[in-house]
Amino acid sequence: MNDLLWIFVSAMVINNFTLYYFLGLCPFFGVSGQLKTAFRLGLATIFVMLITSLCASFLNAFVLPHAPYLKLIAFIVVIASTVQFVEMLIRKLSPTLFRALGIFLPLITTNCAILFLALTQTSRDYSLVQGVSFALGAGSGFTLALVLMAGLRQEASLASVPEIVKGTALNMIIAGLLSLAFMGFAGLFSAV
C-alpha cells in the first residue's frame, strides 16, 4: 500500500512528468492558454494514460518477453490505436463529452508523456496495480501542471511585459519558476 502511494505521489508531484521530466511540453505550452481547455485536456490525458498502462502491462506479460526488440513499435501502435478507440468510444457514448474533448484527443497520440509512461512502467517491472497507480499519478500530475500553468499565463497576459519577452521565452521562464516550486515536494515521502 505504502508502495502504491509512493508511486502515485512520486509520479504526481515529486517527479512531475512535465516539470521534472519535461514531458508533454507541446500541449503544456500549446494548450495552456485557457484554464478550461487545459483542464479538459488533462482529464483526457489521464484517461488515455490509464488505458495505455493497462495495455502495456498486458504487452509486458505476454508479447514482449518473446520479442523485446519490438517494444517501441508495439507501444506506439498501442498508443495510437488506444487514442483512436477512445475517440470512437466517447463519440458513441457521450457526444457532449466528445465535443468538449474532440480536438484534443488526437493530439494526445503525439504526447511523449504517454510513451514515457509505458516505457518506464516496463523498465521498472511494475505490476498491473502499480502501473495503474503510476498512470493515475502521472496523469493527475500532468493535469495539475497544465492547470497551474494556464492560470499563471492568464494572469501574465494581463501584465505589461516588454515586447521581446512575450511568447515562448516568457512561458519558459514561468515554467522554470513553477518547476522550482515543485522541487519543494522532494523529500515529501522519504524515510523518516
Among 66, 92, 125, 160, binds other proteins (CB under 8 A): 125
x/- contact string, 63-92, with other proteins (CB under 8 A)? --x-xxxxxxx--x----------------
C-beta of residue 119 within 8 angstroms of C-beta of residue 75: yes
Among 24, 131, 139, 141, binds other proteins (CB under 8 A): 24
C-beta of residue 138 within 8 angstroms of C-beta of residue 18: no
Of 121, 137, 118, which Cα lies nearest the Cα of 20?
A: 137
Q: How far is residue 45's CA from residue 51's CA, in Å, rounded to a whole number?
A: 10
Assess 115 for contact with other proteins (CB under 8 A).
yes
Assess 103 for contact with other proteins (CB under 8 A).
no
Assess 160 for contact with other proteins (CB under 8 A).
no
Among 36, 94, 183, 184, binds other proteins (CB under 8 A): 183
Residue (22 or 39) nearer to other proteins, CB: 22
Q: How far is residue 113's CA from residue 146's CA, in Å, rounded to a whole number?
A: 13
- How far is CA 147 from each of CA 28, 43, 115, 125, rounded to the nearest angstrom? 9, 11, 22, 31
**Least distance (Å) from other proteins to the CB of residue 189?**
5
Q: How far is residue 99's CA from residue 44's CA, in Å, rounded to a whole number?
A: 12
Based on C-alpha coordinates, what's the Rg of the chain? 17
Which amino acid is it at 6? Answer: W
The residue written with cell numbers 523485446 in the block is 68
Assess 21 for contact with other proteins (CB under 8 A).
yes
Assess 161 for contact with other proteins (CB under 8 A).
no
Binding site for other proteins (CB under 8 A): 6, 10, 14-15, 19-26, 65, 67-73, 76, 110-112, 115-116, 119-120, 123-125, 163-165, 167-173, 175-177, 179-180, 183, 186-187, 189-192
